Structure formats: C-alpha cells, structure tokens
Structure 1
Amino acid sequence: MRLTGHASFASIRAARAAARRSGKKRRGIGTGAVLLLVSTLGACAVGPDYQFSAPLTPSHWANASDRKAPRLSRWWTRFNDRILDALMEEAVAGNLDVATAKAKIREARATYRQTFGSLFPTLTNSESATRSQTSVASSGTSSPAVGSLYQAGFDASWELDLFGANRRAVEAAAYGVDAAEENLQATLLTLVGDVASYYVQARGYQARIALARRTATSQEETAQITRNKFAAGSTSAVDVANATGQAASTRATIPTFETSYAEVVHSLSILLGKPPAALNERLAVVRPIPAPRLTVPAGIPADVLLNRPDVRLAERQYAQYTAKVGQAEAARYPSASLTGSISTSAAKTGDLGKSSSIGWSFGPTLTVPIFNAGQLEAAVAVAEAQRDQYFIAYKSAVLNALGDVENALVSLAKEKRRTQSLDLSASSYRQASSLSRSLYQSGAAGFLDVLTAERSAFSAEDALIQSRVLIATDYIALNKALGGGWNGAVDASKPEVVDANTGPHLASSGSR
C-alpha cells in the first residue's frame, strides 16, 4: 500500500488527538500550562509546507502528431515473441537490482513505522532484586545481617512536539516510502527495456552469423569456379587470389559475430539473475529479429510527469527534503516533554504493591535553545540547500524525459526510412551479384564485376539486418522514454534472507 503525505498527516492528527485525550486524564498539578500550550499549538508546524506544482511542458511533441494516450501496458508483447514474454517474467522475478529495490522499500517502510512511533509516549518497565549483608555490633562482637530488597516500576516519557519536528520527520519518512516505491518502478522500467534490447541484439547477431555463412559459402563456390577457369586458361591467378581472399575475409567475420552474440546472451542471463551460460541452449534455435507490429502514439509531453517513474521518484525526493527543512527549522524552537515514573520496593516479592513503599514522579521538561554558535541556523541552511538540489534534480529529470522521447521519436522515424532504402539496396545488389556470377560463368563478364557485386551485396544485407535491429531498439527506447515498464504485481514484503533461531540462544563463533 502506498503511503502519501496526505494519508500520513491524517494518521498523525488522529494519533495526536488520542494522545491528548489520554493526557488529560493524567493531568497533575503544574502541568496545566504545558498542556494548554499543547492544545493551542497541537497543529503547529514550522518550515515550508510542500505544494506540488507541475513544471511547464510543451503542448505537443515536435516530432509526433498523434496525441492519443500511449499504450504502455506490456508493450513488449507487441513483438509477438513468446520467448521474450517468458524472459520478462523471469527477469522481474530473479533480477538482483529489482531485489535490491524491494529491500529499499522494506527499509523505507520500517523507517516510517520507526519515525511514526516518535509521536507516541514511551513506557518502560524495570525490575530488580538486591541481596546485601551488613555487620551489626553487639556486646563487643559483630554479627552479619542479611537482607533482600525487591523493586519494580514503570518509566514513561512523551515528547510533545510543539513545533512539529517529529511530524515533519514522519512526513519525510512517508515521502521516502513513496520514493522507494518509485525507485522500484524505475528499476523495472530499465530492466524490461534492457531485456528486450539484449534479446533483439541476440537475434540480430544470429541473423548476421547466418548471412556471413551463406555469403562465405557462395563466395567459396565462386572461388572454385575461378580456379576451374584458371586451370582451363581462361582467367588469371590474380582472379583466383581475389576470389579466395574475399571468401576467407567474409568467413573471418563469423567468429567476431559469434563472440558478440555470446556476450549479449551472457548479459541477458545475468539480468535474469542466472549464470551467464544459462540461456545458451534456450536461445540456440535461430528466430527472426522481433519487429513491432504497431506504431506508438506519443500522447502529450505532460504525460511523462505521470508515466515516468524516474520523474515521479525525483518529485517524491523533492517533497521529502522539503519536509526535512521543516524538521531542521523546528530544532530552533523550544521543545517540551512529559516524564513520569512510579516504583515500589519491598523485602519480599509478594509484598510488592501491597506492604511496600511506593514512589512516583511526574512533570514537564521545557528545553529552550539559547546559544549554539549558529549551528541550528546552519542546519536549516544545509537542509534548504539539499532541498534545492532535489528540486533541480526534479526539473532535470523532466527535461531529460522530454529529451528521451523526442530523440526516440526522431530515431525511430528516420530509421524506418533508412530501412526502406537499405531494403531496396540489398535487393538490387543481390540481383546484381546473381547476374554477374552467371555472366562470369558464361564468360560474358570479368571477375572484377563478380567481386564487386558480391562484396556490395554482403555489405548491403548486413546493413539491412543492423537497421532492423535498430528499429526494434528505437521502438524499445520510445516505450521506455514514455514510461512503459512493468505494471504487474511485485511483492516487496518478503526478505531475501530469512533468519532462523533469532531468540535467546548460546552465541557461536560462526564459521571461519
């Protein structure tokens, strides 16, 4: 459950009201003035109150005309690749960065509960048993006197939080929970984008490896034809050398592509929280490069304020450090607390509370900062400077988000146009390579025409594969820029390490 500043303040007001009601029942002589001050300043808090104000954004994208709301939910499923869909599920469940982000949520929630407890009184119990011996002089002799003393009591204290220092701390902690949850969403956004990108790259390298093998085989056949023509005296040794060298040069690209493919698969496995070679067999079967079937509506620029978790994270951090300014400011004002204790002592445990001595104390304590050499003012200045840094970071996150979208829109649109040209280029060079080879075999063309056509065809087809990879990558980048991440349920309540035998037990030296 997400905690907001508004919800936390409602809880704080309810808790303070309950505390004031219980305090009235225990009112004693001399505390009336303090409790009157509490009732008067019960809602008092110093420092700035956080007010969200959306930064100005353009009314439309410079590189997109479709203002429909972007369809960001599970955007990777539009690749229609079941393997990719399964990898996404496994990545969310096993990724270590996601596990760290979930642990930070648990930390933030525990910090909130811990801070919220400062609004309530504390009560401690103490019990003791003392056995003593003294010497008693009588008629010139001394005899020991042995006695026992049993004591039990309670101590209570309550900081009245006159100027809202504790309430500001709780407010900051509540914003911290929000920030931790947005950090998880930002981590998930990065994760699904990286999984999709690595997967697309892996399929791209498979396609380039297959192309290089086909081309090398074809060029080796051409080299054999050239050797046969040389044996018949219809060509030169130079043509044989060129044909053999070109085939070997093409085949030499295969190990390079295989290395890059292995590195991408290893990186993808690690993203899933698995050993590097875990996906080798699973991805060994060659599949087409994923291609998006639908265009991506970009909506309006203001959408990124709601859809981008990194922007929401920066805004929550700005709110958190605004509350810390009030916390530092409250330290400059007087603080008051109520303390009380009650204890009983007796010579026998059965006499505690009956035939025993009972003592109690109750009263307020007021602390007023008089001279601290400017330390408290400096602390406020520090908090304000930190708040300004997070405000600037928030504005920067918005600008970067807008830039990411514009860049992705341009890249995707231009790459589509480039792919169209490369497709025509590759088709033409394939035709030229086939024709030149046929003419060479019949003796109607020279080997230079074959050499040039085969080299150009391989380069054009390889560039076309890379362009298709870039289209898929730009599609991924656009969805990430618009804020498309993981929108499924993620349980952040379960710890990674489950401790056992945490109660009282004999200490062990541990393994060495």
Structure 2
Amino acid sequence: MFSLPYFATRFSVSAVLSLLLAGCVTLNTPELPTHTPNSWSETTSKTAPAIALHSWWQSLQDPTLNTLIDEALAANLDIAQAAKRLESERLLTGRWQAPYLPTITGSVRPTQDVAATDMYYHASLDMMWELGLFGALDNSKLSARARTFQAQATEQGVRVMVVADVVRHYLDLGLSQQQQKLLYTQLTVDEEALALAQTRQRAHVGNPEESTQAHVRLAQTRAALAMEREAASRSARALAVLLGRDQPDAAWANIQRPLQVPAFSLEELPADLLRTRPDIHIAEAEVLQAAAQVGLAHAALYPRLSLGGSFLYAYNTTQNMRTSTDSSPSVGIYLDIPLWDWGMRRTRMEANEELLDAALLGYRKAVLDGVSEVENALSGLTHQKERVNALQSSEHALQQQQQSQRTLLSLGLSSRYDQLLQQRALLETQSELLRARASHTLSFIALYKALGGAPLPEAAATKDVTP
C-alpha cells in the first residue's frame, strides 16, 4: 500500500467524485433464519388467565418471594456487573464515529538538512479526516451497535437467570423444611417401631429380622434428615448470594407454605421467543457483528480516501537564529491504495464470510434450543401433574387404610406395630408427593425461564438499542 497526496486540481476533483460515488454502498445485513413452529405441541388451559411474562412469579402468590425477587433485582452482583458492562458498551457506542472524524495532531522535533550543514527545529500541525467510503462508515456503526445490543441482551439474560434461581432456591428451601417436618414425625415412628420390634423379639412374638429392619429404617430416616438439613442450608446460602447478602436471613427458617403452580393459559407462541429470549438476541447480535466485519473487510479492499492538511514551521538554528525561519502550509487529498497485500485482504474477507455463516447457524441453533426448552418444560408440567395426581390417589388410599387400621386396633384385631408400619408408608408417600409437587413447580419455573420471563430494566425504554 502506498500513500499519495493529490492537490486541488481538475484531475483530483474528478478522482474524488468517482471514489465518492463508488464508495456509496448499501449496508448489507443478512436475513435471519427465523422459522419456528406455529404452535406448541403441549397445550395449557384455555379458560385460565394468562400470566404476565415480566412478572410471572407473582402468580405463585407468595409475598415473601415477591420481596426477595425485588431485593435480588436491586442488589444482585451479577446484574450489577452486567449493567456496568452494558453502560461501558453504550459509552463506546456513543463514540463509534470517532475514527471518521477530523483529527488534529501537533509535533515539534529537531532535524538536519541533506547536506548536513544546517540544523532546524520543525513545528507542525497536521489534520486528517478519513471519509469511511465503501461501507466502512456504516459497518463501523453496525459493529458498535451490535456490541451494545449484545451487552443489553446479556444483561437481560442475567436478570432472567437470577429471577428463576431465586424462585428455585426458595422452592428448594421450603421443600427441605417440609421434608424435615415429615422426617421428624417419621423418626418418632421409627424409634417406637424399633422399641416394639425389640419387645416383640424378647417376648418371642416377633423375629430378629423385624428388629434388624426396624433398625435399618431408623438409620435411613436419620440419614435422610441430615441430607435435608444440608440441602436447606445450601439453598439458604445460595439465596443469600443471589440477594448480595453475606449470610442467610433467620426469617427464612420457616417458610409458611409450599409454592404451587396456578391454573394458567400460555399466550406466548414459538415466534415470540425471537423477541423475548436473551440468548436469541445475543445470537442475533453475533450475526450483525459478523456481518459488520465482512463489510469492513470488503471496504479494506478499496482505496481509503482522506482529506488532510498540515502547517509546517521550520526554524534554522545554525545560520541565524533570529531571522532564518520558514513555513509552508498544505491542504490536499490523501489516497491509500492496497497493492501488495490485496490478496491477504481478500482472504480475510472470505474468512469473515465463513464466520458470518457460522453466526447464522448459531442463531438458528439458538432458536431451536429455545423452542425445545419450552416444549420440555410444558411436557414436564403435564407429566409431573400426572405424577402428583397418582400420588394424591395413593395418599388417599393409605389414609383410608390407616383409618381402618385404627378401627382394627380398637377392636383388638391388629397391633400397634402394624399400625406404625402403615403410618410410615403414609409418611413416605406424603414425602414423595411433596417432591412431585416441587418438580411440577420446577417445570413451571423452567417454562418461564425458557420464555425469557423477567422484568425489563427501567432504562430499557429510553436506552433501547436495536441494530
């Protein structure tokens, strides 16, 4: 590449006009592969109310949970970090045109003439203004806006994750506390059953195997209780981290009631994921960024046209310091033409085109992943509800059996030991029912996380970036 200044002549004006006309290219952005199914394969209630996507957790009707999410949105460190990165990108985007604005530089340096007889001090003032032809200007703008769009989508993705994680850990904490209550009751039952089994063995009514089994059941209950305590502690600490706290709140030790999925209808369609899922927005930003890089590489194949000027002041310090001065202003057009490295530039553009194709494939993959996640969550809601119904039926049958056992016991036709075994079976079923209900709620959480449900930042309305 060489640089050649052209001064204001008829030829230079014609050359400039030709380059300006050739450099006025249209910004080329690819069409996104946005095909999605027309509807979900799993259906929800047609008569139940729809749930607002940006406040979906409020449908669980738990004031404590609502307060925790409000606190997390205000104090979560991941959200704060993503917000700072977004603001940084916005500041840089506001200066995207800086390389294409006039620049002025000054310098002072000593120099010597060719004959090595005189010494000079040169003071110069230089101005340069690159015009950004052949799409360089527009693609630089697109690149900057794509980075900001990606940072904005990343921040929203963090908000979606934080909201879902707060609900999930709150659910897990409540589940562990409810399981502990059942296990404490079960522990009492197992201790009494072990004592009765040992009494039956001493009275030669029972056998040693009964005592062994009763001892194993008691040990298993104690182990399960220890696991639930650990799970509760882990969930409470995870919740504290999400809220930006050093320690869990003591008030979390007694969650009043479990979270239950309300009846609802789903108004969002697969096509809505294109505007609600942050990861699809991130993939879109990557496509736009790749398209901008292709455009910039294409612009690099052509000459760079700049307007420039300089003012040189030369002071002779050898012959006469007081009178030997010289100055020469110049204004003109600078043309940089790629010659020897044009092939490398062409290869770079072709490589960027391959990266653009890869970004388009990534966008398509993000859309497919989004649809799949929603479908899996809807399927989970359906099947976990069936599991809950089956366990509720089992619980009802065991409760009736326990009532019959009480009647037999009062008539002397059954033993307290048999009654304890049936009570334990009922407690185990109730424990499994709690887990099934929690899994049903987890599918509900997964559904609205997959849909991109979370509050939009307050600044979104005024600082929204859409490339």
Q: TM-score range by the shorter chain?
A: 0.7 to 0.9
Q: Does 1:120 pair with 2:101?
A: yes
Deviations 1:16-53 (A, max 9, x none): xxxxxxxxxxx9446523542355346335xx611544
Give me the TM-score of the superposition, normalised by structure 2: 0.83
User: Using the alignment, how far apart are the partners of 1:453 and 1:101 within structure 2?
Assistant: 54
Contact conserved, 1:75 with 1:484, CA < 8 A, in 2?
A: yes
Q: 1:244 to 1:42 in 2, by over 3 A?
A: closer
1:101 pairs with one of 82, 91, 100: 82
Residue 219 (structure 1) shift: 3.2
Deviations 1:303-351 (A, max 9, x none): 111221211221122122112111111111111222211244679xxxx
Residue 73 (structure 1) shift: 2.2
Contact conserved, 1:34 with 1:364, CA < 8 A, in 2?
A: no
Contact conserved, 1:243 with 1:451, CA < 8 A, in 2?
A: no
User: Using the alignment, how far apart are the partners of 1:34 and 1:214 within structure 2?
Assistant: 92
Q: Does 1:154 pair with 2:125?
A: yes
2:445 pairs with one of 442, 461, 476: 476
Q: Does 1:220 pair with 2:191?
A: yes
Residue 103 (structure 1) shift: 3.1
**Equivalent position SS for 1:375:** helix
Deviations 1:79-105 (A, max 9, x none): 122221122122223333323322332
**Equivalent position SS for 1:444:** coil
Give the corresponding residue for 1:187.
158
Q: 1:490 to 1:190 in 2, by over 3 A?
A: farther
**Equivalent position SS for 1:115:** coil
Residue 406 (structure 1) shift: 1.0
Q: Does 1:92 pair with 2:73?
A: yes
2:302 pairs with one of 333, 343, 349: 333
Residue 224 (structure 1) shift: 4.5
- The residue identity in structure 1 corresponding to 2:54 is S
Give the corresponding residue for 2:35.
56
Give the corresponding residue for 2:321.
none
User: Using the alignment, how far apart are the partners of 1:220 and 1:452 within structure 2?
Assistant: 12
Give the corresponding residue for 2:465.
none
**Equivalent position SS for 2:28:** coil
**Equivalent position SS for 2:252:** coil
Give the corresponding residue for 2:373.
404
User: Using the alignment, how far apart are the partners of 1:231 and 1:438 within structure 2?
Assistant: 27
Give the corresponding residue for 2:173.
202
**Equivalent position SS for 1:332:** coil
Give me the TM-score of the superposition, normalised by structure 1: 0.76
**Equivalent position SS for 1:366:** strand
Which shifted more, 423-432 or 240-249? 240-249
User: Using the alignment, how far apart are the partners of 1:106 and 1:38 within structure 2?
Assistant: 37
Contact conserved, 1:78 with 1:294, CA < 8 A, in 2?
A: no
Q: 1:44 to 1:324 in 2, by over 3 A?
A: same
User: Using the alignment, how far apart are the partners of 1:40 and 1:182 within structure 2?
Assistant: 37
Which shifted more, 153-162 or 108-117? 108-117
Residue 203 (structure 1) shift: 0.7
Q: 1:212 to 1:219 in 2, by over 3 A?
A: same
**Equivalent position SS for 1:365:** strand
Residue 77 (structure 1) shift: 1.1
**Equivalent position SS for 2:70:** helix
- The residue identity in structure 2 corresponding to 1:385 is E
Q: 1:71 to 1:434 in 2, by over 3 A?
A: same
Aligned pair count?
A: 440
Q: Does 1:299 pair with 2:284?
A: no
- The residue identity in structure 2 corresponding to 1:470 is S
Matching of residues 223-262 of structure 1 within 5 Å? 223-224=194-195, 239-240=210-211, 242-262=213-233
User: Using the alignment, how far apart are the partners of 1:488 and 1:442 within structure 2?
Assistant: 68
Residue 191 (structure 1) shift: 1.5
User: Using the alignment, how far apart are the partners of 1:106 and 1:248 within structure 2?
Assistant: 56
Contact conserved, 1:334 with 1:366, CA < 8 A, in 2?
A: yes
User: Using the alignment, how far apart are the partners of 1:65 and 1:220 within structure 2?
Assistant: 46
Residue 242 (structure 1) shift: 4.3
Q: 1:231 to 1:286 in 2, by over 3 A?
A: farther
Residue 121 (structure 1) shift: 1.1
Q: 1:74 to 1:318 in 2, by over 3 A?
A: same
Residue 222 (structure 1) shift: 4.2
Q: Does 1:432 pair with 2:392?
A: no
User: Using the alignment, how far apart are the partners of 2:134 and 2:402 within structure 1?
Assistant: 84
Deviations 1:400-454 (A, max 9, x none): 1111111111110221121111112123224434543664576422577446423
Give the corresponding residue for 1:138.
none
Contact conserved, 1:336 with 1:366, CA < 8 A, in 2?
A: yes
Which shifted more, 424-433 or 373-382? 424-433
Q: 1:451 to 1:221 in 2, by over 3 A?
A: closer
User: Using the alignment, how far apart are the partners of 1:35 and 1:70 within structure 2?
Assistant: 60
Structure 1 spans left out of the alignment, 5+ residues? 1-26, 131-147, 348-354, 494-512
Give the corresponding residue for 1:80.
61
Contact conserved, 1:66 with 1:299, CA < 8 A, in 2?
A: no
Contact conserved, 2:196 with 2:417, CA < 8 A, in 1?
A: no
